[in-house]
Amino acid sequence: AHGPWSVEDILGEEDEQDRVPLQKLKLLGESEELRGLLLNPHLRQLLLTIDQAQDRSSLMRRFMQEPLFVEFADCCLRIVEPPEKENVLPE
């Protein structure tokens, strides 16, 4: 059986700038949009497959072609790194 994974399993030292602060990660648990996506059994199976895989990087490349997985990833990114508003006039 697989033990719990850690951030070090995914990111190497060269990926340090890709780490997300814990406060922002907690926002994922508060998102109704994300919770709604996670109700989809197909998405849940994709995530379980990734979690249990030996070669996660090649599997991630394959899953990034799946529209449902891309929707999930985009939702997570919008939560932890909200897009900057364009064309906003200063007050």
| Residue 1 binned pLDDT confidence (cut-offs 50, 70, 90) | very low
Which pTM was predicted?
A: 0.69
Residue 54 identity: Q
Would you state the pLDDT for residue 34?
95
d(CA 39, CA 20): 24
DSSP state letters, 43-91: HHHHHHHHHH-S-HHHHHHHHTTSHHHHHHHHHHHHHHSPPPPSSPPP-
The residue-averaged pLDDT of 58-87 equals: 88
**Quick one: angle between helices 67-80 and 22-30, nearest 10?**
120
The pLDDT assigned to 13 comes to 57
* Residues 6+ positions from 13 with CB-CB distance below 8 Å: none
Residue type, 51: D
- Most confident among 9-13, 72-76, 83-87 (mean pLDDT): 72-76
64 three-class SS: coil
10-67 residue pLDDT tens: 555 555 566 778 888 889 999 999 999 999 999 999 999 999 998 888 898 999 999 9
